[in-house]
Amino acid sequence: MAKRKIKLVSWNVNGLRAVMGKGFLETFKNLDADVVGIQETKLQAPQVTGDMANIEGYTSYWAHATTKKGYSGVAAFSRMPVKNAKTGMGREEYDNEGRIVELDLGDFIFFNIYFPNGQMGEDRLTYKLDFYRDFFAYADAYRKQGRSLVICGDYNTAHNEIDLKNPKANENTSGFMRIERDWLDKISADGYVDTFRHLYPDTVKYSWWTYRFKARERNVGWRIDYFFVTEDIISKGWLKDAFIDNTVYGSDHCPVGLVLEI
């Protein structure tokens, strides 16, 4: 049987309505991906209408925050057959923030996740770390069943010093605190592979820049958007490429992606 290439993309759009006015549909078409996960839609269900809901050739799946309007939210668009789709992980304290869409694509399960930001205070940092713990426990249950997993999204943590412009200045900033980075160390040790860093161990490239201080213009950024996969995807030779497309504007993040051949 001939192998097929599968292109997957993740992009934190920081407000889907805002980015719709900045050429989102054209960018989406140009990405030419089989599955696209977007984070921070900032939408409620009744606001998902028109072009954003009905992109030709794709079926869309949405998770919305029920805690407050204009907050969080993720969506996944697939032109591949989806065997099953879910939102959340069965935990109300997380699911009410609309952070997870899960698609069973047969050969693998695709997770699109907006991991919490810990910068708003100690309670949100704790929430973020608990989310890491509980989500990866949820993912491990699938792994024990022999399933291959692709887990993309905004992880809200730069893993190592190579992953942000000013590591020393940000050691005590949520997003690069040791306690957060330890979680990325842990999942890496547990057999989840950061695909971009696996293929490009020394490449300096960022996926997020603050809107302040002309940060993007000066490329003062952070790499906080990832595709992690289970180790078996590497050992089976499915991983062909990983990329960060920083030519795409419209958000404070740029798209990141993965190419598999199955």
Residues with a known catalytic role? 114, 154, 253
Distance (Å, whole) CA 205 – CA 11: 15
What per-residue string of b and e applies to 13-34 under the rule 16 or more CB within 10 Å gives b? bbbbeebbeeebeebbeeeebb
Distance (Å, whole) CA 111 – CA 85: 10
Distance (Å, whole) CA 259 – CA 262: 10
* Binding-site residues for Mg(2+): 12, 40, 154, 156, 252-253
φ, ψ of residue 239 to 5 degrees: the values are -75, 120
The answer to whether residues 33 and 9 touch, using CB atoms and an 8 Å cutoff, is yes
Distance (Å, whole) CA 127 – CA 166: 25
Distance (Å, whole) CA 209 – CA 261: 31
161 conformational bin, left if phi > 0, alpha if psi -120 to 50, beta if neither: alpha
